[in-house]
Every structure is written in structure tokens, then in C-alpha cells.
Copies of this chain bind each other. A is one copy, B any other.
Amino acid sequence: MDINKINGLIAAPFTPMYENGSLNTGMIKNYAGKLKNDGVSGVFVCGTTGEGMLMTLDERKEVAEAWIEEQTSYFRVIVHVGTTSYKQSCELAAHAQDKGAFATGTMGPLFLRPSRTEELVGFCSEIASAAPDIPFYYYHIPSISGIKLPMTEFLSQAAKKIPNLAGVKFTDNDFMDMLECIRLDDGKWNILHGYDELLLAGLSFGVKGAVGSTYNFMAQLYYKLINCFEKGDIDGARNYQAMSIKVINILVKYGGAIVSGKALMKSVGIECGPVRLPLKNPDKTMYDKFIEEIKNTGVIF
């Protein structure tokens, strides 16, 4: 099996829903079109931003299929298959491979969280083996999963048990661990940086790809950041990072990146509808204030 690394910006798409909460997968064609226009190199679907675990398995399959429809060799689909049960995750992983996804990924188990690396490897190994012909990514996101184990150790142990291991979606600010992962085994592993607000730090530590929710609506800003960085214009890159942080602070203030990010999509032409329980949608007044503040930054529109 040939595992190709993904580089560039990968969006973690919101899952479009109708006002009544049911899926609106018909919107995904346009959504993918917008992302492709923005130069985004792929999507990580049904993850945290995509409200993955708030959906049923059937819904997740439907969403995955709709994105895979839009897949090209320049726009690849990683399907997040994380659930609390490895059996359910295996079902989703097999489906993803069957439908032609580029890769699968899973966060660690939220229920009865492992405290030792070998337990985490055991869990991931089972899931990765259910989609053995496509790459597998571990989704490291301690702030959501509560699992804070060193990824250097994870990669070292998992390399022996997971033949299709591709790398880690690294959503943590332990850059020391991240640098070691990037350099491990002569740079063999695909380390995808997961904090949009710290992309510049990631680049300086050597990441080549990143997954994030704000790449849904301001990928072009981040590509400018990357261009500056690659030309050696760190000051310029820092300016773009500061602009992204200005927006992210507003997202956080209005309910977090999922709730307010999803609401924002309408303004860039992709109506994504409401979020699901236990998340809470902003009311009209709050929404208007939020959009006003975003406008005032001048970053997006």
C-alpha cells in the first residue's frame, strides 16, 4: 500500500442541516465547490467541527458519501469514524473504505478513556484494520477526548501494530511532542496541525498540512500566511496570524468555533443550518451582534 501524505489546508467541514435538525447533504456539492475554489486540499468529515458523534451511524454514512462524491485527486476525503465503541467505528471505517474515501481517522475513546499508550494503540489498531487498504490517522485532541498521551510514544508503538498508519491529526499545543513526531523515523509520518490560531508555530516546527474549522471560511488568508512563511517573510505571516486570531477570538466569544462558525457559513454563501444538542444555537440578537463584530474585523467580508 502506498500512503501519500496530505499537505496544505484541510477543512473540517460543518455538517449542513435543515432548520428541523435533519441532514441537508444536498448542500455539500456547493460547499465542496467553494472549498476547492479556495485551494483547500481536502476535508476531515464528521469530526469535532462536523458534530460527528452527535449523529447516528446512518447519518454519518450519508454525510461521508456526499463528500466522497466530490473527491478528486486534489481534494481528498478523510472520514472520522470515532465513536465510543470500536465495533461501531469499525462499521464506519469499512463503509468509508468501501465508498472510496482517501483515509479514515479516529479520536480516542471518550468512554472509559485509556490511561496507557498500549490501550490506545489496541483500540486504534482494531479500527484501522477495518479499513486496511486506506491510510489511518489518529486524531489527537486532548481538550475534547481527555486523552493526553505523548504522540511520539503512540507512533512508535502503533507503527508495529497498524500497517496502514499514516500519521496524526495533532490538535494540541505540545509543540515539543509535535516536533519529535515530525522528525520520528526520518519524517515518515504525516503530522497534520490542528490549531488554526497557531498555524505559524506549526509551520516553524515543520508541519506541511493542517486541519481546521476556520479553513472553511478564511482559507485564503491562511494561504497568504503560508506564502509569507515560505518566502521567509515571518513578519508578514505573523500579521495574517494576528488577523486569524482576531476572528477566532470573536468565534470563541459567541459560543465557540462550532456554534458560531457554523452560523457564519451562511455569510460566505453556504447555509449550514443549526447545531445539534447538546450545543445551543445563538438567538437572533446574539447572531446579529456576532456578525457585526466579524464584519468590523474586515478579515472575511
Contact = CB atoms under 8 A, between A and B. Distances in A.
A51 B179 CA distance: 30
Interface size class of A (residues with CB under 8 A): 35 or more
Nearest to A230: B234
B278 A109 contact: yes
A170 to B, nearest CB: 13
Nearest to A256: B112
Given A54-B111, A176-B248, A204 B206 contact: no
A112 B55 contact: no
Interface in A103-123: 108-114, 118-120, 122-123
Nearest to A85: B54
Given A112-B54, A204-B237, A205-B200, A86 B278 contact: yes
A278 B176 contact: no
A179 B241 contact: yes
A229 B174 CA distance: 21
Contacts of A146: 146
Nearest to A48: B112
Interface in A224-268: 229, 232, 234, 237-238, 241-242, 245, 248, 258
Contact of A173 (B111, B122, B173, B280): B173
A84 interface: yes
A254 B87 CA distance: 26
Interface string A193-206: 00001101101111
A122 B109 CA distance: 24
A258 B84 CA distance: 16
Contact of A232 (B86, B173, B232, B248): B232
Given A173-B175, A198-B175, A204 B122 contact: no
Given A55-B87, A86-B276, 13 more contacts: A53-B85, A53-B110, A54-B87, A83-B84, A119-B278, A122-B280, A173-B174, A176-B198, A200-B204, A204-B204, A204-B237, A205-B238, A232-B234
Interface of A: 48, 51-56, 59, 83-88, 91, 108-114, 118-120, 122-123, 126, 144, 146, 173-176, 179-180, 183, 197-198, 200-201, 203-206, 229, 232, 234, 237-238, 241-242, 245, 248, 258, 276-280
